[in-house]
Amino acid sequence: MDKIQSLTGMLDLYDDGDMTNTSSRLFEVERVVKDIFLNYKFQEIRTPILEDASLYKRSVGDSSDIVNKEIYSFNDRNDKTIAMRPEGTASVIRSIVEKKLDQENHKLWYMGPMWRYERPQKGRYRQFTQAGIEILGIPEGLPEYEMVSVVCSIINKFKLKNCCIKINHLGTRQNKASFCKALVDFLEPYKKDLNEKDIERLQKNPLRVLDSKNSETQTILKNAPSIKEFIDKASIQMLNSIKNEFSDLCKIEIDFNLVRGLDYYSGFVFEAISSELGAQDSFLGGGRYDQLSTQLGGKDMPSIGMAIGLERLANIVNPTKQNRKLVSFIIAASNLEPKAYKIAHHLRSLNKDVVLDISLSEGSLKSKMRKANKNNADFAIILGEEELKNKSVVIKPLKDELKEQQAVSIDDLYSFYKAL
């Protein structure tokens, strides 16, 4: 019989409790990122992971790699084509437009799994986790600063080294169109030197050629027109102002070649990259997408947002040791479990900073003690028949050899535990 295995590019993650693997780091990263979002007064939005597939054609765009070849989709029993979400922004706008909330301003955050049928490699998975924020209904200006401020908070909170925020401005719709035309005119004579992928990009979304990983294309592009010549002075001023304001917090670079892989962007765009990540070096990205609401049938709702790739962020944060105390509650005789569980329940409610691990399986006192030591517990609480008769327990320090174990009353155990 064939062995059933996990799907390519989809990870099983296990928590080893000490921040040395991805699951423990993800847990910590999710907690801290959520805290930062709440600190900026973003409100949570949860949307379904399945959407009508046409949502992504109309938002992320026909010319994006995502819609072209990466969408996970299937036909449901009614023959409707359903997609597993490849990102969160389209769903957020779909929801706000559908609920007719598109006349108000919103600051929203979300977190959850996304799917893209990409070629897996380090830092690139087919199922990955994003945490995103969207500021809806406010035109270009202040929200750009708020976005960069959040990015700086994330970088500083995790004390990330070797990273940089790249910013660019794609101009207005007209600016973007004129630049695209100039780029196409420039590249036309070199078409024969471009690879198939870049020719396709040139036809569908010329801006994406700037993103090419092909070295010959990049050599050709050295003399190409720059977006800088097509955008307003005010846009360049804004880039400079953001750089000036935040450069003491994080490294910020204006990169006129920065384009994003999704079609809905116009105006300010940005990415944060880390040299510790290898080829997939961008751990977050976003930008302004003022037309998306009207594209999805809603009111004019200028908006900006970003999403963090949490696995990538988790890979560059420094593991911090858990400093919560661990106590192992050892039941040293059979039939004492109900009593022990009741005591443990009370202990947990007395001190939420301590982790209390109670033995769930049968075994000798010796093997349970071995396990407590292996888990690096600070103390063992031992409850045996003799102790219970005397309404007492034994507290055994496991890390300090000079300290003796002691038998204490249950009430004293509660006081001891509370003070840990």
For residue 311, state whether it binds ligand HAM (rule: CB under 6 A): yes
Least distance (Å) from ligand HAM to the CB of residue 342?
45
Site string for ligand HAM, 280-299 (x = CB under 6 A): --xxxxxx-x----------
Angle at 409 between CA 408 and CA 411, to 5 degrees: 120
Q: Provide CB contacts within 8 A for 106, sequence distance 6+.
A: 43, 96, 134, 135, 136, 137
Site string for ligand HAM, 122-161 (x = CB under 6 A): --xx--x-x-x-x---------------------------
CB 134 within 8 A of CB 305: yes
Least distance (Å) from ligand HAM to the CB of residue 128?
3
CB 225 within 8 A of CB 186: yes
Which amino acid does the sequence have at 201? Answer: R
Least distance (Å) from ligand HAM to the CB of residue 317?
14
- At 169 the three-state DSSP class reads strand
Least distance (Å) from ligand HAM to the CB of residue 103?
20
Size of site (CB under 6 A) for ligand HAM: 26
Measured from the Cβ of residue 151, the count of other Cβ atoms closer than 10 Å reads 27
- E strand intervals along 118-193: 127-136, 163-169
**Residues 41-100 contacting ligand HAM, CB under 6 A:** 87-89
Which amino acid does the sequence have at 360? Answer: L
Among residues 266, 305, 316, 416, which is the contact residue for ligand HAM, using CB under 6 A? 305
- E strand intervals along 137-201: 163-169
Using CB under 6 A, which of the segments 276-284, 316-324, 338-346, 349-357 binds ligand HAM?
Answer: 276-284
Site string for ligand HAM, 24-43 (x = CB under 6 A): --------------------
Angle at 207 between CA 205 and CA 210, to 5 degrees: 130
Q: Which residue is nearest to ligand HAM (CB)?
A: 309
Residue ranges in contact with ligand HAM by CB under 6 A: 87-89, 116, 118, 124-125, 128, 130, 132, 134, 261-262, 282-287, 289, 305-307, 309, 311-312
